[in-house]
Amino acid sequence: MTAKQSLALRIGLDCVLIAICATLFSKNVISLMYHEVVGLVLLLLFVVHVIFNRKWVSRVFSGKLKTGRSKVTLVVNALLILSWLCVMVTGVLVSKKLFPFQISSLNPLHFFSAALALVMTGIHFGLHWNYFWGWMGKRIRLPKVVAVILCVVILAFGGYRVVTSSFGRWVVAPFTAHEEHGERGERQTAGTEVEGQREGATTDQASDREGGNAAAQGQRGSHGQQPFSLANLLYTIATWFSILFLFAAITHGVESLFLKKGKV
Ligand code: HEM
Ligand code: HEM
């Protein structure tokens, strides 16, 4: 394989990773079975991604990371791996379809680590901003003014969704879990919940907000699964891609500032 083809393959895999990640941040946007199966497949794709970047791994183990930037990359990548491992392990433990554990008290940790993984992936992506967008820019030729407007729109939408999506709730989930349990307990003793509604009720409400599709909310089935809608899927992908893009752009901006000052 030529160097050009290998680069195209790496960037192609990066795009697949981003696309898949964006569909996993809402459990019902396709189906919970999809969420669990593809969540595990993502682990395999990450392994392939690291194999593509094995030179970096061997540099870490031979102690060749000396510059400030490479030390920052090391810390970011270590947190990236830890957060994704935590998402996968807690995912298996809270699983409702593939595994028998169903330890739902770990839901807050699953949501928190997913939010952290999104932030760390954004930072990681931001550290490779020029590499990725340089390659893309040569293939998708947009007039500069269009590219800038597109960036501003994505950033504004990302900022808006950080505040209005479930992202904030997931960040604080481990610290507010007892409050949610309290609320659920009260609702259960009042005898107003049927089994199907109780299953993941708080996260279903979040999915509704992610999708923002009123029609879909009205047609929810007895197991908290909303019917598939392309509009919901696109909105979910737009939400999580723009949040990822926001953290990546901030990281790239900060790095460029340091580069200008000659500090990295
Ligand atoms: C949506 C998820 C991710 C995206 C978009 C992404 C993107 C990138 C990009 C653009 C590069 C530059 C080289 C290349 O394109 O192959 C890279 C390098 C790398 N990635 Fe990722 N990555 C993601 C997730 C991960 C995860 C979860 C891990 C760890 C398990 C990881 C580990 C690495 C390593 C070790 C390198 C080389 C070292 C470095 O320069 O940072 N990546 N990644
Ligand atoms: C690897 C990527 C994954 C990410 C980013 C992720 C993220 C999330 C998020 C953000 C939620 C809340 C969604 C919502 O409120 O609509 C969720 C729910 C859930 N996830 Fe994952 N997850 C991943 C993998 C997995 C895996 C591998 C499993 C199981 C094998 C799993 C099982 C579940 C279950 C059962 C729920 C519903 C929990 C409930 O509401 O009671 N996840 N996940």
Task: Return the domain boundaries, the chain.
Answer: 3-260
Residue 122 has pLDDT above 50, yes or no: yes
Mean pLDDT, the chain, integer = 84
Which tens digit of pLDDT belongs to each residue from 89-113?
Answer: 999 999 999 999 999 999 999 999 9
Which pLDDT score is estimated for 126? 97
Closest C-alpha to ligand 2, atom 3 = 39
Residue 193 has a pLDDT of: 31
261 alpha carbon – ligand 1 mean position (Å):
26
Q: Which of 7, 77, 237 to mutate to test the pocket of ligand 1 (most atoms within 8 A of CB)?
A: 77
E strand segments, the chain: none
Using CA of residue 152, residue 30, residue 162, residue 216, what is the dihedral sign?
positive
Tell me which of 225 and 60 has the higher pLDDT. 60
DSSP conformation letters of 180-215: HHHHHHHHHHTT---HHHHTTHHHHHHHHHHH--HH
Could you tell me if 88 and 39 are in contact, meaning their C-beta atoms sit under 8 angstroms apart?
Answer: yes
Share of the chain above pLDDT 70, in %: 80
> What confidence category does residue 179 fall into, taking pLDDT thresholds of 50, 70 and 90?
low
Nearest bound ligand to the CA of residue 61:
1
The amino acid sitting at 250 is: I
Helix (H, G, I), strand (E, B) or coil at 100: coil
If you measure from the C-alpha of residue 20 to the centroid of ligand 2, how many angstroms do you get, rounded to a whole number?
A: 13
Return the pLDDT at 225: 64
Helix axes 107-126, 68-94, angle to 10 degrees: 150
**Whose CA is closest to atom 34 on ligand 2?**
95
Q: Report DSSP state, residue 263.
A: -
Amino acid of residue 56:
W
Which ligand is the nearest neighbour of the Cα of 17?
1
pLDDT given for residue 191 in this prediction:
34
Q: Ligand 2 atom closest to Cα of 118?
A: 5
Give pTM, 2 decimals.
0.86
CA-nearest of 88, 122, 98, 94 to 108 is 94
Label residue 67 by pLDDT band (50, 70, 90).
confident
Is residue 116 over pLDDT 50? yes
> Which is the closest atom of ligand 1 to the Cα of 84?
27
pLDDT over 60 (residue 134): yes
Rounded distance between C-alpha atoms, residue 182 and residue 185, angstroms: 5
